[in-house]
């Protein structure tokens, strides 16, 4: 548990507020499976603590998260599954679909439904899988220089696995982000309702904490009912079904690339993304 976490830190910066921190800044907080499993444990700890009313997700370093750590591999043998998927090492599409259903869509959906308010505190770059840690949170406070992108169309894919792009950015901007791979700025994100507040970098932590403390003065039952009411509205609009539909298409992409290039994604995408960075 907490004393063995490698890539996560758990803090209690104020009464009734827990803060989970991505602590892999030397890798721009790239997510390997160890980090995701630790993050899940930390969220569970905060969710199950009666004294915690609001959970902040923050990150060390210059960048919130550069996405999935592609060099870390997809081996599940050291990971204890939280959901009910199995056969992670199976051949064909079976094993990898189960792996992504467990580690990406499953965990993100689990965190999205924590019955307490969650706030993402975001600085620097948020790339592809990085969005999968921001979007499941209820509120987002970001610094002025923060940018958000999902450039994986260049890799022959539809987007990252927690496909809520149209819900988060609106359909028009979601398509532009995906088609061009362009990073949108904090101001654009604010204008399109993707974030709640844009603040100077040196005020990011204090402003996020102030928001968390303000919310934490409300009774937990009110917060839970309000959160679930909004989430239920999004679900009635088809959010979960949309995620699952896009996940199926995502695996068409993985299988297409596997057949053509012997890899889960088109390897030429890396060069394209580097040239445009």
Q: Give me the least distance between CB of 74 and Zn ion, in Å please.
A: 9
- Residues paired with residue 148 on neighbouring β-strands, in sequence order: 126, 184
Stretch that binds Zn ion, among 29-37, 55-63, 100-108, 117-125 (CB under 5 A): 100-108
Cβ-contact 125, 212 below 8 angstroms: no
Stretch that binds Zn ion, among 67-75, 92-100, 198-206, 213-221 (CB under 5 A): 92-100
Q: Give me the least distance between CB of 247 and Zn ion, in Å please.
A: 9
Class of residue 36 by CB neighbours under 10 A (exposed 0-12, middle 13-18, buried 19+): buried
Q: Give me the least distance between CB of 72 and Zn ion, in Å please.
A: 14
Which of residues 100 and 205 has its CB atom nearest to Zn ion in the complex?
A: 100
Which of residues 61 and 89 has its CB atom nearest to Zn ion in the complex?
A: 89
Residue written as tokens 């959901």?
Answer: 83
H helix count then E strand count, the chain = 11, 9
Stretch that binds Zn ion, among 29-37, 99-107, 184-192, 194-202 (CB under 5 A): 99-107
Which of residues 89 and 170 has its CB atom nearest to Zn ion in the complex?
A: 89
Which of residues 100 and 138 has its CB atom nearest to Zn ion in the complex?
A: 100
Which of residues 117 and 129 has its CB atom nearest to Zn ion in the complex?
A: 129
Cα–Cα dist 212/231, whole Å? 19
In sequence order, the 6+-apart residues with CB closer than 8 A to the CB of 105 are 161, 162, 243, 244, 247
Which of residues 211 and 264 has its CB atom nearest to Zn ion in the complex?
A: 264
Q: Give me the least distance between CB of 254 and Zn ion, in Å please.
A: 6
Q: Return left, alpha or beta for 119; rule: phi > 0 is left, psi -120 to 50 is alpha, else beta.
A: beta
Q: Give me the least distance between CB of 199 and Zn ion, in Å please.
A: 32
Contacts with Zn ion in 214-273 (CB under 5 A)?
A: none
Which of 101, 144, 106, 96 lies closest to 254, judged by CA?
Answer: 96
Q: Give me the least distance between CB of 160 and Zn ion, in Å please.
A: 7
Q: Give me the least distance between CB of 108 and Zn ion, in Å please.
A: 12
Q: Return left, alpha or beta for 211; rule: phi > 0 is left, psi -120 to 50 is alpha, else beta.
A: alpha
Instruction: Compute how many residues bind Zn ion; rule: CB under 5 A.
Output: 1
DSSP state of 11: E
Which of residues 36 and 142 has its CB atom nearest to Zn ion in the complex?
A: 36
In sequence order, the 6+-apart residues with CB closer than 8 A to the CB of 200 are 143, 144
In sequence order, the 6+-apart residues with CB closer than 8 A to the CB of 66 are 27, 28, 29, 30, 125, 127, 130
Stretch that binds Zn ion, among 40-48, 56-64, 94-102, 122-130 (CB under 5 A): 94-102
Stretch that binds Zn ion, among 45-53, 93-101, 143-151, 215-223 (CB under 5 A): 93-101
List of residues contacting Zn ion (CB under 5 A)? 100
């Amino acid at each position: 548990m907490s004393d063995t976490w490698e890539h996560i830190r758990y803090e209690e910066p104020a009464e009734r507020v827990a803060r989970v921190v991505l602590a892999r800044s030397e890798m721009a907080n790239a997510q390997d499976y160890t980090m995701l499993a630790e993050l899940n444990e930390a969220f569970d700890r905060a969710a199950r603590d009666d004294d915690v009313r609001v959970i902040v997700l923050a990150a060390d370093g210059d960048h919130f998260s550069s996405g999935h750590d592609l060099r870390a591999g997809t081996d599940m043998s050291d990971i204890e599954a939280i959901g009910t998927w199995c056969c992670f090492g199976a051949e064909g599409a079976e094993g990898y679909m189960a792996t992504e259903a467990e580690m990406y869509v499953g965990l993100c959906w689990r965190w999205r439904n924590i019955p307490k308010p969650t706030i993402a505190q975001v600085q620097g770059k948020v790339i592809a899988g990085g969005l999968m840690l921001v979007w499941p949170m209820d509120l987002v406070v970001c610094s002025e220089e923060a940018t958000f992108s999902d450039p994986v169309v260049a890799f022959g894919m539809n987007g990252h696995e927690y496909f809520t792009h149209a819900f988060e950015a609106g359909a028009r901007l979601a398509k532009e982000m995906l088609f061009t791979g362009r990073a949108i700025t904090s101001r654009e994100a604010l204008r399109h309702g993707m974030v709640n507040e844009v603040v100077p970098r040196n005020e990011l932590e204090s402003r996020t904490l102030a928001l968390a403390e303000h919310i934490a003065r409300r009774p937990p039952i009110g917060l839970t009912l309000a959160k679930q009411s909004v989430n239920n509205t999004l679900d009635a609009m088809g959010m979960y079904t949309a995620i699952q539909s896009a996940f199926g298409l995502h695996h068409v992409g993985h299988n297409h690339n596997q057949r053509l290039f012997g890899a889960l994604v088109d390897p030429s995408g890396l060069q394209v993304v580097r040239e445009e960075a």
